[in-house]
Amino acid sequence: MMQEWIAVVDDDALCLTNARKLLNSRGMKVSCMRSGKDMLKFMEKNEPDLILLDIMMPEMDGFEALKRLREYEKNQDRLPTPVIFLTGDEDAETEKRGLSEGASDFIRKPFDREILVSRISNIVKNSRMLEDLAEEASTDKLTGFLNKSSGTEKISALCEKNTGALMVLDIDSFKLVNDLYGHDMGDRVLGAFADIVRRSIRENDIASRIGGDEFMLFLDGVVEISSIEALVNRLNVLLTAEAEKLMGEEFGIPLGISVGVVLVPEFGTDYSVLFQYADSSMYRVKQGGKHGYEVYSSQIEDTEDSDSDLGRELIRVTRLVEERGAGMGAMVLGQDAFSANYRLMIRFLKRFKSKACKLLFAIDAKCGETPLSDAVMCFEEILREHLRRTDIIFQSRQNRFFLLLPEMEQEAVEAAVGRVMAEWEQTEYSAYCEVRYIAETIDYNEQK
């Protein structure tokens, strides 16, 4: 069981000595102070479980000490420390005032030892239980970060009074982890990423999980672009390293992070506006190649200020329904999305008696020890760029791509494959990786 830590504040030295002996004999840690001023200074660097606070003290009485303590805790965003008032006063109004101003209990001197110890233990136990419940309600269970609601509340308050950097982070290609390796592996990757972030930021920085693979950070006091860049680079390198440990060196998924950043208070102190700036910057990173960051600038602000509210809403909703980072070419889909699109296209082809082609590409290393991940990423980009927007792609394995090319004649299929292979031969990866493929035509025009 965790040892209870009690702070005793009393100007009477004999009372302090007796309290220390009593509580030490019950296994409690005790810190003693002779004044309210000493207590406030002590609380700047310490967080005891409970304070026994004498009311009648010179210079600053217990009521004033409690008032200042609560103000300090509020400013530091600390939970209130339970306080038991100690007094020899028999006046009921004194007791009523103490409880109304936030004391947890009220004990008159000379106190009964067993009653004092029992009340201390009960209050500490209940306080810890409430702290655990509050932490559970505010924490994302998988990552240990603040959840969206608590993170928003905490970071919103920091934006109002602190200088720093608000960051929105999105893990690139994370959906492929779930599609290819399952949701358990996806959870392990998210947990590993959370550990990386935790090791890479400081104690006074705030981390929050705001969505499935989306996170938010507030770097307190950080305004140097070099520091932000160093952090983003570190997170990208360490995420790749952890993914290799979890899924093997040839896991073949271009994991990384795209990050949008806005400096506070350079662009204001309103969290909702700042988040929108950082979020839009993050999307631009994803659309521009991923695995990087953008710091929101005044030039971007001027451009966005000219947009209408309705126009911004159209952009926001479009982003919600589009695949993130999707270009103008073919779409790479996860298994569920690919299956739904595949069935829809087949029904269309049957109804209008049309043709399609199924393709399966395989990327294999010519040397068994050659890593495939970069080559696979490169080949995926070639497929995206050199096929049509109506074509759909599914990465069925680490080094396999299954494609459906609707309404395409054999000659057109050969031309499309030729473009892909010609582009592949121009890459550095073609020297040590081989691409093979097989094609099958579907012709519903010939079926009765």
**66 and 213: one domain?**
no
Choose the final residue of a domain: 138, 157, 175: 138
Q: Is residue 448 in a domain?
A: no
Checking if the pLDDT of 99 tops 80, the result is: no
Question: Cα(245)–Cα(296) distance, rounded to whole angstroms?
Answer: 34
Provide the CATH number for the domain around residue 255. Answer: 3.30.70.270
Question: What pLDDT is attached to residue 324?
Answer: 44
Provide the CATH number for the domain around residue 69. Answer: 3.40.50.2300
Token readout for 398 is 């680490």
Choose the final residue of a domain: 321, 339, 354: 321
Span 169-179, mean pLDDT? 88
Average predicted confidence (pLDDT) for the chain: 85
Question: Cα(397)–Cα(254) distance, rounded to whole angstroms?
Answer: 14
**153 and 249: one domain?**
yes
Please tell me the total number of residues recorded for the chain in this structure: 448
Is residue 131 very low, low, confident or very high in pLDDT (cuts 50, 70, 90)?
Answer: low
Choose the final residue of a domain: 78, 111, 138: 138
251-281 tens-digit pLDDT: 778 899 999 999 999 999 999 999 989 998 9
Q: Which of 211, 369, 236, 353 shows the shortest CA–CA distance to 290? A: 236
Checking if the pLDDT of 145 tops 80, the result is: yes
Question: Cα(127)–Cα(121) distance, rounded to whole angstroms?
Answer: 10
**240 and 310: one domain?**
yes
Q: Is residue 421 in a domain?
A: yes
Q: Which of 9-18, 153-162, 325-334, 433-442 has the lowest mean pLDDT?
A: 325-334
**249 and 362: one domain?**
no
- What domain range is 335 assigned to? 331-443
Q: Is 78 helix (H, G, I), strand (E, B) or coil?
A: coil
**269 and 154: one domain?**
yes
Say how many domains are in the chain: 3
| 278-311 core/surface letters (b: 16 or more CB in 10 A; e: else) | bbbbbbebbeeebbbbbbbeeebeeeeeeeeeee
Q: Which of 343, 280, 283, 338 shows the shortest CA–CA distance to 312? A: 280
Q: Is residue 143 in a domain?
A: no
Span 129-148, mean pLDDT? 75
Span 333-355, mean pLDDT? 85
Report pTM. Answer: 0.48
Find the DSSP H helices in 288-362: 298-305, 309-321, 335-351
